[in-house]
Structure 1
Amino acid sequence: MTIVDTPTPTPTARTHWGGSADRQETDRWDAVAERVAAVLGEDALARDRANAQPFAEAELLKASGLTTLLDPAEWGGGGAHWESALRAVRILSRTDASIAQLLGYHYINSANIALVAPHGERERWHRESIAGRWIWGDSVNPVDPNLTLTADGDGYRLNGFKRYSTGSGVGEALLVNAVVESGPEHGRFAFLVLPFGHPGVELVDDWDNLGQRLSASNTVTYRDVRVEARNLLGFGTDEPVQSLITPGIQLVFGNLYLGIAQGALAQARALTNARPNAWFLSTADTYREDPFVQRLYGELVSRVAAVEALADRVNRRFDEVIGVPGGVDAQARAALEIEVARLKVVSSDTAVDVTTRVFEATGTSSTATRVGLDLHWRNVRTHSLHDPVDYKKLEVGANFLTGAVQPISLYT
């Protein structure tokens, strides 16, 4: 018997991402994000109080190039990696977590071009999005299954509503998920993209929450909305690579919370250094020299540094998985989900604790409305309730003990 070596064919890349970001790339986009964060930080508190739709902030993101960072370079995009995008979200959240959320959700929503759209349609979607400088909002809240999508000729009709539709108030593209309830595609999970101002789509300006007030996360209602064939991005499949959107958005959360904690520490440090004198029982001359104050910062700074190290590792791992030629398998997808869940647990708990306890070092004066130190806590306390962190702890613990993996969903 003769054995003939047959060369293994090189698999076709499932997405346009591949490899990892180098230092030059991350330094470049870090600098862009830091410039934008500095501008946002000038009046973040005033804009939070005004609670207006963030049209000007959206234009700032577009002008900076951050919105096209992940798009293919050959079609006019930044050609960068997820690590750079996630670091940008983290940097912006240090001064304005609302706009960081807007950018992070945009990255996830627009990534569906690569994960959902048929190969032959991706160039069109990328070119239109890049040329139009689209910000992608979403209307996909899975706990609001109140949409009806029915066949209508060569298109569909959409009715219902969705709450918590981040970016819908200012985005040029609105990503909508709905199950087809009639026609040849009955039962399929559809990804629709509707332009801003599409007939029958009503944006309800009802987002008036404790924090993340400029994330444009209002309710959207749909009244007999005509959906043309060109508005269909694609359908959901059982491909593990397509479901990377869930660990992707949870990874955005982890970097968002980390950035908020870093921003709170930076502001608190400035306030503590500016405090005169010290507590009357202290042997120190100033609060900054008080051993109890130094101990508090030592604990909080160390915990945040540990979260940062984990986030950096998982950010890079996400690039490695999503860029696998031929697409990621179920095992790799599950392993990534657990890594991201760990980050969600520690970043959420750490950020809530840090943004609360910094007041112990900054004193009563820092609770003044004009100071705005509470903005960090309000933002992380609001967004960290997106999905219960206790269920992430259960997910991680069950996997550690038994190897159990949660079923794929828009939360796991």
Structure 2
Amino acid sequence: MSVQDDARRFVAVAQEVGRVFAADVLERDRTGSDPLPQLDLLRESGLTTLLVPSEYGGQGATWSTAVRVMRSLARTDASVAQVLAYHYVNESNAGFAATPEAGERWYRTSAANRWIWGDSVNPTDPDLAFEPAPGGWTLRGTKRFSTGASAGDVILVSGTVRGGDDDGRGLTVVVERTRSGVAPLGDWDALGQRQSASGSVRFDDVLISESDVLAWAGDEPFGTLFTPAIQLSFGNLYLGIAEGALAQGVDLVRERRGSWFLSTAEKYRDDPFTQRIVGDLDARIAAAEALADRVGDDFDAVVARGSAVTSEDRGRIAIDIARLKIVTNETALDVANRVFEVTGSSSAKASTGLDLHWRNIRTHSLHDPVDFKRLEVGAYVLNGENQPISLYT
């Protein structure tokens, strides 16, 4: 089966799941609770094992397919789409960063148990420390903005070793959410992405063994592709929000009776001003979709090179993904805002829920400043420069 066939098949599954999510998305958004039933549905649908190699029990799909799935879900429920996006990236560290032997073990275990992976890796919180202890380490500290950590089965955790022979080295481990000493704090109170199972996690003397290790920090190009992967996911998440906002707006316009009293049209859907705005927003989304699909295919090609990926390869794809993020960030913010111009005052009712798209994109677009993505692209175009490898670049 071709990549295109895989994409169509899994996106069709995502569309069905999205229809189920849409039924109570507003109610769930208001509660802000962890999306545990929704994650169960994702498991049952087979979407959680999408990126696990088929020889290890997964679907063996590509990243271009995975981001199309995220995009589809984000049209109706961007919060749960975010959890799935982070799951894909966190789990994929088994392929990117782990040794082949460790990667196979983690992939097989994840697929067999249908794990959903959360994370606690926020690099702006450098205080999380692994202190040497008999048989491994003791993990102490707190991480903010830990997506999926309060609802997933396991948490990808990164920190720095303090003391011993590995003092100062970065370490990434996998721990069960229910392990003793792991304490999600439930302090996520944002205006959007309210069901993304985000928030702070405190680690109180959590025992870590060698078997929990996923990888030691390194700068080998292939091993750091998880950062372009998460930025690619963001671009598609934002695009899905834009698509969902316009689709709901179009439905609302079609339902509107009459027209503005100064209009020459009998219905709002026939008003030239309405058509002009919808046409502009639709064209911008279509252009962003074309860019997203091309960049997704290009990322597949880079991943397929495996250990042969060079620094130049990584730099080029990171810039392409930065371009996508710039475009989809601005497109989604504009679409989710301007769609109200054609849906009318009644669409501002809380019960309509059209505001959910804007609240979601406004919240997640602040994850890392898009202006720095503009600088990355500009420095590359003008001087051929790439930013230092990090969890944001």
- Shorter-chain TM-score bucket reads over 0.9
Q: Does 1:218 align with 2:199?
A: yes
Aligned-residue offset at 1:218: 1.5
| Structure 1 counterpart of 2:381, one-letter code | F
Whole-Å separation in 1 of the counterparts to 2:27 and 2:136: 44
Structure 1 equivalent of residue 272 of structure 2: 291
Whole-Å separation in 2 of the counterparts to 1:118 and 1:205: 34
Q: Does 1:356 align with 2:337?
A: yes
Alignment check: 8 A CA contact 1:310 1:343 kept: yes
| Structure 1 counterpart of 2:241, one-letter code | I
Structure 1 equivalent of residue 48 of structure 2: 67
| Structure 1 counterpart of 2:61, one-letter code | A
Aligned-residue offset at 1:21: 5.2
Cα gap change, 1:325 to 1:124, in 2 (>3 Å): closer
Structure 2 equivalent of residue 265 of structure 1: 246
Alignment check: 8 A CA contact 1:83 1:316 kept: yes
Structure 2 equivalent of residue 407 of structure 1: 388
1:250-329 correspondence to structure 2 within 5 Å: 250-329=231-310
Alignment check: 8 A CA contact 1:21 1:84 kept: no
Could you state the TM-score of these two structures normalised by the residue count of structure 1?
0.94
Alignment check: 8 A CA contact 1:139 1:166 kept: yes
Aligned-residue offset at 1:327: 2.9
Structure 2 equivalent of residue 335 of structure 1: 316
1:68-147 correspondence to structure 2 within 5 Å: 68-147=49-128
Aligned-residue offset at 1:325: 4.4
- Which segment is superposed worse, 371-380 or 399-408? 399-408
Structure 2 equivalent of residue 35 of structure 1: 16
SS at match of 2:200: strand
Whole-Å separation in 2 of the counterparts to 1:191 and 1:150: 13
Aligned-residue offset at 1:345: 0.3
Q: Deviations 1:108-151 (Å, cap 9, x if unpaired)? A: 00001011221122222111111111000000011111212111
Q: Deviations 1:138-189 (Å, cap 9, x if unpaired)? A: 0001111121211112200111100110000111110001111112222211
Whole-Å separation in 2 of the counterparts to 1:165 and 1:45: 23
| Structure 2 counterpart of 1:369, one-letter code | A
Q: Deviations 1:248-306 (Å, cap 9, x if unpaired)? A: 10000000000000000000000001111111111000110000010001110000100
The two structures, once aligned, show a CA RMSD in angstroms of: 1.0
Structure 2 equivalent of residue 14 of structure 1: none
For residue 171 of structure 1, the aligned residue among 142, 152, 159 is: 152
**Structure 1 unaligned spans of 5+:** 1-19
Whole-Å separation in 2 of the counterparts to 1:316 and 1:236: 27
Whole-Å separation in 2 of the counterparts to 1:21 and 1:251: 22
Whole-Å separation in 2 of the counterparts to 1:225 and 1:401: 47
| Structure 2 counterpart of 1:288, one-letter code | R
Could you state the TM-score of these two structures normalised by the residue count of structure 2?
0.98
Alignment check: 8 A CA contact 2:219 2:389 kept: no
SS at match of 2:225: helix
Whole-Å separation in 1 of the counterparts to 2:101 and 2:260: 68
Whole-Å separation in 2 of the counterparts to 1:36 and 1:72: 23
Alignment check: 8 A CA contact 1:21 1:80 kept: no
Structure 2 equivalent of residue 390 of structure 1: 371
Q: Percent identity?
A: 52
Whole-Å separation in 2 of the counterparts to 1:325 and 1:208: 40
Structure 2 equivalent of residue 12 of structure 1: none
Alignment check: 8 A CA contact 1:134 1:171 kept: yes
Q: Deviations 1:217-269 (Å, cap 9, x if unpaired)? A: 02100111111111111111120011111111000000000000000000000
Q: Does 1:370 align with 2:351?
A: yes
Whole-Å separation in 2 of the counterparts to 1:157 and 1:23: 46
Q: Does 1:50 align with 2:31?
A: yes
Structure 1 equivalent of residue 219 of structure 2: 238
| Structure 2 counterpart of 1:217, one-letter code | S
SS at match of 1:198: coil
Whole-Å separation in 2 of the counterparts to 1:404 and 1:69: 34
Whole-Å separation in 2 of the counterparts to 1:325 and 1:403: 24
For residue 208 of structure 1, the aligned residue among 166, 172, 189 is: 189
Alignment check: 8 A CA contact 1:21 1:83 kept: no
- Return the structure number with greater helix share: 2
The structure number with the bigger radius of gyration is 1
Aligned-residue offset at 1:326: 3.2
Alignment check: 8 A CA contact 2:50 2:59 kept: yes
Whole-Å separation in 1 of the counterparts to 2:122 and 2:173: 14
Q: Deviations 1:352-404 (Å, cap 9, x if unpaired)? A: 01000000000100000100000000000000000001111111111111111
- Which segment is superposed worse, 153-162 or 118-127? 118-127
SS at match of 1:175: strand
| Structure 1 counterpart of 2:109, one-letter code | E
Q: Greater relative contact order (Cα 8 A, min sep 6): structure 1 or 2?
A: 1
Aligned-residue offset at 1:333: 0.3
- Which segment is superposed worse, 176-185 or 294-303? 176-185
| Structure 2 counterpart of 1:382, one-letter code | T
